Structure 1
Amino acid sequence: MEQTVLVAYGSANGSTQKIAETIAEVLRTTGITAEALSARSVTDLDRYEAVVVGGALYAGRWHKDARRFVRRHRGALAHRPVWFFSSGPLDSTASQRDILPVPGVKRAMAKLDARAHVTFGGCLTEGAQGRIARMILRNGKGGDFRDFAAIENWAAGVARELGAMSHR
């Protein structure tokens, strides 16, 4: 049975979008149909058997598009396997240890019985939009802390879980 997976993301400057696209790409290499779409652009989940939702972290909260996506599609998400990811720390902590989901994501995970959550390092580079982003960069705190090997490994784990589900 061919599965179609949505990887929905909330991203301000494209870093989380690139993570979502990488996850979708890994899923496709395993034979799963997957597409990465901006959470804001998704109108319904009818075509998808499973969903991965990701959001950039800002001041301890998920990007508003990811939060709104989960609220808007709560009913449909409750009947599908769901995984969450966050992107954000502008240092190497996400590569050194598991980072627990922020409170809003933790509540959504409990309501939806989400299968897993992971936090990946973030990326903030010159040209980023937003007053706070520019301030962070001015203070020399930017950089690219995304670990694409870890992202690919996590996505491969999602693919294995989906494969196990389809053989039940």
Structure 2
Amino acid sequence: MKTLILFSTRDGQTREIASFLASELKELGVDADTLNLNRADAVAWHDYDRVVIGASIRYGHFHPAVDRFVKKHLQSLNALPGAFFFG
């Protein structure tokens, strides 16, 4: 199984959480890639078995890039099991 961990970050905390998740998965024998969704123009969805999205929150709102990314890739995201975290 291969997991894609996408994240948006403002101050780096969500990136740190995404990296931690990836390292924990790798210790369990699960291949995991992390990718800043602000730089994820073309995602090779067929390479992944599941997806995790991490979003930074400020003043109770997700980073606008998360909303744009999800809307743009909704069909691909719906085709995979997924999870969401915020930090």
2:67 equivalent to 1:58:
no
Question: RMSD across aligned C-alpha pairs, in angstroms?
Answer: 1.1
Match of 1:6 in 2: 4
Structure 1 runs (4+) deviating above 4 angstroms are none
- Structure 1 distance, partners of 2:70, 2:20, is 21
State, as a whole percentage, how many aligned pairs show the same letter: 28
Q: Could you say what secondary structure the match of 2:18 adopts?
A: helix
Which structure shows the bigger proportion of residues in strand conformation? 2
1:148-163 aligned within 5 A: none
Deviations, residues 87-109 of structure 1 (Å, cap 9, x unaligned) = 1xxxxxxxxxxxxxxxxxxxxxx
Contact 1:9 1:65 in 2 (8 A): no
1:115-134 matches, cutoff 5 A: none
Aligned counterparts of 1:23 and 1:31: Cα–Cα separation in 2: 13
Q: TM-score, normalised by structure 2?
A: 0.89
CA contact (8 A) 1:57 1:63 kept: yes
Structure scoring higher RCO (CA < 8 A, sep ≥ 6) equals: 2
Name the amino acid aligned to 1:38. Answer: N
In structure 1, runs of 5+ residues without a counterpart are 88-168
Deviation, 1:49, is: 1.0
**Structure of greater Rg:** 1
Q: TM-score, normalised by structure 1?
A: 0.48
In the TM superposition, what whole-angstrom CA distance separates every residue of 1:88-136 from its partner, at most 9, and x where no partner exists? xxxxxxxxxxxxxxxxxxxxxxxxxxxxxxxxxxxxxxxxxxxxxxxxx
Give the aligned length. 85
**Quick check: 1:8–1:66 contact (8 Å CA) kept in 2?**
no
Q: Which amino acid aligns with 2:27?
A: T
